[in-house]
Amino acid sequence: MFTYLFFLYCAVMIIGTGLLAITMRNPVHSVLMVLILFFHMAGLYLILGAEFLAAVQIIVYAGAILVLYLFVLFLVSLRDEVKMDRFVTSAWLGRIISAGLAVSMIAMLPTFVLGEKGHWPMAAVIKATHTKALGTEMYTTYILPFEIAGLILLIAVIGGLVLAKHDSPTPIKKS
């Protein structure tokens, strides 16, 4: 019963803050709404028994990625952003497309069939603790994807540095 209530609370908060995030005028407020959304997502991970992922969600998403977004928002000018129109002129088309997407995805849901069961039932995960179970799986079966993910992260950091480096002394004026 408590789990149901917690799920419904998290679902309502996720949908509400998600809608607020994509409609609010000030981008900083949107980022703060997404921060609340990420915390409730971590709550859902907790009731799904994925404590390590909940911690990673808060540390990496809320702690690192959103702070990066906030820094970049402060680097570009915000002064006239709150006075301008915040939607593109064909925004109604995007709303129709996304509403149709949501309706079709939910309508397709009853035809979904679960695949075969894996080797980690909840009791085994609780016995081994979640972090150990995830780590065992990641460092044995998925060691190669793990290395590739590290390489992707390294390339992304180098790419971000190269992109943000100031190399042209005279910026191209907007025509």
Q: Does 106 bind other proteins (CB under 8 A)?
A: yes
Least separation in angstroms between CB 10 and other proteins = 8
127 vs 142, which CB is nearer to other proteins?
142
x/- site string to other proteins, residues 35 to 74, per CB under 8 A?
--xx--x--xx-xxxx--x--xx--xx--xx--xx--xx-
Q: How far is CA 68 from CA 13, 62, 63, 64, 143, in A?
A: 23, 10, 9, 6, 28
Q: Does 1 bind other proteins (CB under 8 A)?
A: no
The whole-angstrom separation of Cα 11 and Cα 40 is: 8
Q: How far is CA 36 from CA 12, 58, 66, 87, 160, in A?
A: 12, 10, 11, 23, 27
Nearest to 52 by CA among 136, 121, 134, 143: 134
Structure tokens at 71: 């820094």
x/- site string to other proteins, residues 149 to 168, per CB under 8 A?
xx-xx-xxx-xxxxxx-x-x
Out of 9, 82, 98, 129, the residue judged to bind other proteins by CB under 8 A: 98
Least separation in angstroms between CB 120 and other proteins = 5
Q: Does 121 bind other proteins (CB under 8 A)?
A: yes
Q: Does 117 bind other proteins (CB under 8 A)?
A: yes
Q: Does 126 bind other proteins (CB under 8 A)?
A: no
Contacts of 37 (CB under 8 A, 6+ apart): 13, 14, 17, 18, 21
Out of 9, 129, 137, 147, the residue judged to bind other proteins by CB under 8 A: 137
Q: Does 143 bind other proteins (CB under 8 A)?
A: no
